[in-house]
């Protein structure tokens, strides 16, 4: 079957020149005028529930996106290209099977604070992928869940059964005299099975129908998910919709996620699986892994062990405070005895911020009896001086006279309560010269 590589972004650019639109077609129509046809779907599919595809989101009413973390959505670059410099103009609907109407209890609305296009994208189908960072995190529930994304070692193969979903056209009638698409769009979420047809291009996945009638994404489905159910891993995101041509015939293209896995990790810090939980805790923090397939087993480790105690219950980890420091928490994931991935997260045990004492020059010995002005950059502190004298103090500023003995040291301590309510001490040691000809006095700034 001949591949139809005509891209919707070309058509959308033409139409935007005519109508000054800023969204991917077909949604220059107001949402309230969207029609519903429950007899057909995303070209040849069926209505589906958001709880079947809880990783799916609607982007600006004109495209789709996929949840890979509580603040990260992957989509097609051409869906959000107009918002790189104004990311607040991107809004997403998560947790709802309908764009409009009575909201489901799992529905959440969010705006973006960053839109990041793949740096190699040049308004072509290759590299047509982007990341949306949300201004506020999503709350995961039955209708809002992240999905694990594909990496190069995954067993994606021609003839794999896959699934695509979205709110795009469910009937495509061609283009009018102005080059605009005509057809029927849905207010309901639809999905269909498709089959992996061609993997010759490492950056694109092509799909075909599973039967004699056409099954495919269409206009308005851009950025939406293509998933495959891999053995031991469950559903994995293998593509995002980014091109089709005539929706009624031909194979359809998607950005091949495994090709962009390193880029996604570099930008978001999220691997195939993501550890969910706080980045810092005072007393303890609880952690789970997102996107786990059924039957998966998680083995946890934490390093270094001096900063926090690790206890586990099933796939849940608990870190309990021992001392201040950064802990690297790692989840090793297996299924049926087969390793399917790891996830890591850096966590701060306690309040690691301590501040510093400034004023006395480092690696310089002062003469006995010298006067030095010091400042502590942390929270409000009290001062203690060992082998020296406090001459004056104002808040976190202090003037100290160092000890009078040659070759000694003066220890200056700032004592304060950190953000977790624990007493902390920061110390600066001033070295006194052993030179008997060293003249005391003066102020060191």
Look up residue 222 and give its DSSP letter: T
Query: How much is the average pLDDT of 311-338?
Result: 94
Say which residue, 282 or 407, is predicted with more confidence. 282
Report the alpha-carbon distance of residue 237 to residue 165 in Å, rounded: 12
Task: Report residue 24 as tokens.
Answer: 């991917």
Q: With cut-offs at 50, 70 and 90, classify the pLDDT of residue 16.
A: very low
Give the CB-side neighbour count of residue 135, counting CA atoms within 13 A: 12
Share of the chain above pLDDT 70, in %: 83
Q: Determine if the peptide bond prior to 26 is cis (ω within 30°).
A: yes
Architecture of domain 275-349 in this structure: Sandwich (2.60)
Residues with Cβ within 8 Å of 118's Cβ and at least 6 positions away in sequence, in order, are 77, 127, 128, 129, 130, 260, 263
Q: With cut-offs at 50, 70 and 90, classify the pLDDT of residue 293.
A: confident
Report the alpha-carbon distance of residue 224 to residue 217 in Å, rounded: 9
Report the alpha-carbon distance of residue 346 to residue 327 in Å, rounded: 6
12-21, 188-197, 242-251, 430-439: least confidently modelled range: 12-21
Per the DSSP assignment, residues forming a β-bridge with 357 are 376
Per the DSSP assignment, residues forming a β-bridge with 230 are 234
What pLDDT does 18 receive? 33
CA angle 152, 153, 157 (to 5 degrees): 85
In the chain, the N- to C-terminal Cα span, in Å, equals: 79
Residues with Cβ within 8 Å of 31's Cβ and at least 6 positions away in sequence, in order, are 61, 99, 100, 187
Rg (CA), the chain: 30
The rounded mean pLDDT for the chain is 84
Q: With cut-offs at 50, 70 and 90, classify the pLDDT of residue 243.
A: confident
Secondary structure E strands in 211-324: 225-230, 234-243, 252-256, 275-276, 280-281, 284-289, 297-303, 308-313, 316-321
Class at the top of the CATH hierarchy for domain 8-262: mainly beta
357-444 CATH pick, 3.40.225, 2.60.40, 3.40.50, 1.10.3470: 2.60.40
Q: 66, 59, 118, 58: which is closest to 90 by C-alpha?
A: 59
What pLDDT does 443 receive? 44
Query: 394 by DSSP, 3-state: which?
Result: strand
What pLDDT does 398 receive? 94
Contact 42, 168 (CB under 8 A): yes
How does pLDDT run across 160-211, given as a tens digit for each residue?
A: 999 999 987 776 656 666 666 656 567 789 999 999 999 999 999 999 888 8
Residue 121 has pLDDT above 70, yes or no: yes
What pLDDT does 107 receive? 96
Residue 345 has pLDDT above 60, yes or no: yes
Sign of the dihedral through C-alpha 199, 201, 202, 208? negative
Domains 8-262 and 357-444 share a fold: no
Residue ranges of domains in the chain: 8-262, 275-349, 357-444
Q: Which residues of 320-352 are buried (b: 16+ CB within 10 A; e: fewer)?
A: ebeebeebebebebebeeeebbbbebebbbbbe
């Amino acid at each position: 079957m001949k591949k139809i590589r005509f891209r919707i972004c070309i058509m959308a650019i033409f139409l935007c020149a005519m109508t000054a639109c800023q969204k991917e077609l077909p949604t220059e129509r107001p949402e309230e005028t969207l029609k519903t046809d429950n007899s057909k779907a995303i070209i040849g599919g069926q209505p589906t529930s958001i709880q079947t595809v809880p990783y799916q989101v609607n982007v600006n009413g004109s495209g789709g996106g996929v949840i890979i973390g509580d603040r990260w959505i992957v989509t097609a670059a051409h869906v959000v290209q107009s918002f790189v410099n104004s990311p607040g103009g991107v809004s997403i609907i998560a947790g709802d099977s309908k764009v409009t109407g009575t909201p489901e209890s799992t529905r959440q609305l969010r705006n973006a604070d960053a839109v990041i296009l793949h740096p190699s994208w040049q308004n072509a189908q290759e590299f047509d992928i982007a990341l949306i960072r949300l201004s506020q995190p999503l709350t995961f529930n039955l209708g809002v869940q992240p999905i694990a994304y594909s990496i190069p070692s995954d067993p994606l193969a021609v003839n794999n059964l896959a699934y695509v979903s979205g709110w795009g056209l469910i009937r495509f009638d061609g283009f009018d005299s102005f080059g605009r698409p005509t057809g029927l769009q849905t207010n309901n979420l639809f999905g269909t099975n498709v089959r992996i047809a061609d993997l010759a291009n490492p950056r694109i996945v092509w799909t075909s129908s599973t039967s004699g009638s056409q099954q495919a994404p269409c206009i308005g489905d851009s950025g939406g998910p293509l998933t495959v159910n891999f053995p031991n891993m469950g559903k994995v995101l293998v593509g995002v919709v980014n091109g089709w041509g005539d929706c009624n015939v031909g194979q359809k293209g998607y950005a091949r996620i495994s090709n962009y896995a390193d880029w996604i990790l570099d930008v978001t810090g999220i691997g195939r699986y993501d550890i969910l939980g706080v980045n810092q805790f005072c007393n303890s923090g609880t952690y789970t892994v997102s996107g786990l397939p059924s039957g998966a087993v998680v083995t946890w480790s934490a390093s270094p062990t001096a900063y926090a105690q690790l206890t586990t219950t099933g796939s849940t980890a608990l870190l309990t405070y021992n001392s201040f420091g950064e802990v690297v928490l790692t989840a090793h994931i297996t299924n049926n005895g087969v390793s399917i991935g790891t996830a890591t997260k850096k966590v701060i045990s306690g309040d690691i911020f301590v501040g510093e004492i400034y004023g006395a020059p480092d690696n310089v010995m002062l003469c006995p009896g010298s006067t030095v002005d010091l400042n502590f950059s942390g929270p409000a502190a009290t001062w203690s001086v060992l082998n020296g004298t406090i001459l004056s103090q104002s808040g976190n500023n202090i003037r100290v006279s160092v000890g009078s003995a040659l070759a000694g040291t003066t220890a200056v301590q700032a004592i304060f309560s950190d953000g977790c309510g624990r007493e902390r001490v920061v110390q600066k040691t001033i070295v006194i010269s052993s030179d008997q000809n060293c003249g005391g006095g003066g102020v060191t700034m």
